[in-house]
Structure 1
Amino acid sequence: MTKPGKAPAPCGVAGTSPGASGKVGGSCAVVAPKVGSLYRWPTMVASPLGPLLNGRQGPWSTNKNRLGQVLDDRWTLEAIVGQGGMSTVYQARDRDGGVVAIKILHTHLAEVPSSRARFLAEERASHQVRHAGVVAVLASGESEGVPFLVMELLEGETLAERLRAGRLEPTEAIAVAVGVLEIVARAHDSGIIHRDLKPANIFLTADGQVKVLDFGIAKLPHDATGYLTGEGAELGTPEFMPPEQAGGSDHEIDARTDIFAVGATLFYSLAGHPIHHARSSNEALVAAATRAVVSLSEVVPDAPDALVAIVDRALSFDAEQRWPNARAMARALVATLPASERASLGAFDTSPTLPETSPRSPRRRLG
């Protein structure tokens, strides 16, 4: 089967053990390992934080000042590997010599309850989903009142980075989508809706696994704070949103919201552009809320009919017309492949509760 990478070559992952789940093919997917841009914070269409920043020092001026800092007398921050509007990710060295990623909330957001809650949602999601395709949160703590997460350090590239080299072939796009759907199915079993699935939040590791990143705006069960959800709050990325999410109807968001986003990601992977043509995020948001998506066959005429039908169904404007769950969509995708390709991909587990797919380091709370 075509692997989501450049060419087969020896490769490895720092700080993680390969698991059978979420693996694309049977060998390495990416030749040149890259670390960075893998922990970007999810897009927020409208940020309520602008007034809070007036007269405050910007986050970027303090990032480099942390280099060399030792957290909890254990992890030394060595380099910045990614940063966004909410957090910075550092490569850090454990006192035992191991290398990890440490994600630190920007100082000026540490006192904002909604920002802190969203930041810590990643730890909750990792604990609840317990799947090798979710980035492992190994520990958490605080440094001078600012929360941080210790995470496995990934090597490889995001799907967004992979797509800069060009569109995917159908078998490669299917392999990635099935890997994502397996992870999403486990999250849905736990009552978690990701709400921001997109190429930038899908990671292809150097040994051929698929990882889903950034559960920072996930809809979690029993969210007592109310900070992670909210009627009228447009959280996510408009280019990959279904209409109910673009319209801010939180009560309508469920597993089919993520299924639409997987369909939009498949569309982008095969067509090379988003589901709606828009000149800005606001225009994309309006399009997502009001316009049906054109059939994949109109933009990729040579796409197999069976694949077109699967993608078109996932992108139905009416959520009732979409795939009922992630496993049903994954089974349909696998069924489009020849038997030899199915064997290469591996069987998709259809059980309601999937077994643990690889050993996970025990989590602990620090401080």
Structure 2
Amino acid sequence: MDIPWIAAQFPQLSGLQPLATGGQKVVFAAQHSSDGDVVLKLLLKATGEERLEREVLAGQLIECERVPRVFETGELATPIGSCIWLREQRVQGTTLRTPLRMGAFDFAVVVRLGVQLLATLALAEAKRIVHRDIKPENMMFDGSGNFWLLDFGLARHLDLESLTATRFAFGVGTVGYSPPEQMRNRKREIDGRADLFAAGVLLYECATGINPFLVGARDQLEVLKRVEQQQLPRLQLAADCDGSFADLVAALTQKYPNQRPRSVADALKWMTEIASIHAIAPAGVRNV
């Protein structure tokens, strides 16, 4: 898209800079005259209007200080077709993928991440929303002790009709993080426990620096096979002296939903108890 043209359509924005492009979606960073740093997302209407509407709805329903606020939405006629757009709060920080390239995080940081992520997912669960795309690229660390959950573009609203056709052999998500029931499009099995699986994989990766489902895999089919058939190796962390964190991660990443904690709320209680045992405050860390 022509950035000067887009800038002219949003005169209240300044400093428009491209952040990401993918498929029919374009994301910009900008400054808003009253809302400060924002993100502007544009999506060709014919390709995903309902998904963007549900992303907006998720942002509005989940009242959490670690989910970006949606300020405004609308529709725009462009030279390449009608687009829908949303303007949301921009989080200043880095995704977890960047520090993960340098290796594992300190144990205290991983525990804080676990508490904050599960607290956010518990609020989503209370609104019957499943994120379905938890991975390092969708977690942002803001340098002030907060881990933000981004991009509800694949969110499943359990009280609304599914947008993924039942006939499809594979569901939406990210191979290597999403659970078997989600990748195999077993819709009736998908609830907050799907996010628990992905959260467990994320915590494992942050604690060790690697995701065993991905390391050395030839292709996505091999990754999917590992997710379905192989358990993650049990965590062996010196700081986890009683093994309670390893127990939790093992429970979160079980292959079947009914083998995981019954709810995100239950997992959060477990994670909070681990933080208490190790005297780790749920916030306050300023670097990873």
TM-score (norm 2): 0.86
Match of 2:286 in 1: none
Match in the other structure for 1:320: 258
Could you tell me which of 123, 126, 147 is aligned with 1:186? 123
Mapped contact 2:62–2:127 kept (Cα < 8 A): yes
Q: Does 1:101 align with 2:39?
A: yes
Which secondary structure does the structure 2 equivalent of 1:345 belong to? Answer: coil
Cα offset, 1:270, TM superposition: 1.4
Which residue identity lines up with residue 45 of structure 2 in the other structure? Answer: A
Q: CA deviation at 1:97?
A: 8.1
Partner amino acid, structure 1, of 2:222: E
Q: How does 1:206-217 map to 2 (within 5 A)?
A: 206-217=143-154
Q: Which range moves more in the overlay, 230-239 or 186-195?
A: 230-239
Letter of the 1:117 partner, please give it.
Answer: E
Where do 5+ consecutive residues of structure 1 fail to align?
A: 1-61, 347-367
Higher strand share: 2
Within-5 A mapping of 1:160-309: 160-224=97-161, 226-228=162-164, 230=166, 232=168, 233-276=170-213, 277=215, 278-288=217-227, 290-297=228-235, 300=236, 302=238, 304=240, 305-309=243-247
TM-superposed deviation, 1:318: 2.2
CA RMSD of aligned residues (A): 2.3
For each residue in 1:132-154, what CA deviation from the matched residue of structure 2 results, as whole angstroms up to 9, or x when unmatched?
22111000111212111011111
Q: Which has the higher contact order (CA 8 A, sep 6+)?
A: 1
Give percent identity, aligned residues only. Answer: 23
Distance 1:338 1:97, change over 3 A: closer
* Corresponding residue of 1:333: 271
**TM-score, with structure 1 as normaliser:** 0.69
Count matched residues: 274
- Asked whether the equivalents of residues 7 and 13 of structure 2 are also in contact (C-alpha less than 8 Å), the reply is no
Match of 2:55 among 108, 122, 125: 122
Q: In 1, are the aligned partners of 2:164 and 2:172 still within 8 Å (CA)?
A: no
Corresponding position of 1:111: 46
Distance in 1 of aligned mates of 2:125 and 2:167: 21
Q: CA deviation at 1:329?
A: 1.8
Q: Deviations over 1:226-264 (max 9, x none)?
A: 425645342000111211112221111111111111101
Which range is displaced more, 155-164 or 89-98? 89-98
Going from structure 1 to structure 2, the CA distance change for 1:231 and 1:63 (only over 3 Å counts) comes to farther
* CA distance in structure 2 between the aligned counterparts of 1:200 and 1:110, rounded to whole angstroms: 25
How far apart, CA to CA, are the structure 2 residues paired with 1:74 and 1:307? 47
Paired position in structure 2 for 1:50: none
Which residue is 1:134 aligned to?
A: 67
Contact 2:103 2:208 in 1 (8 A): no
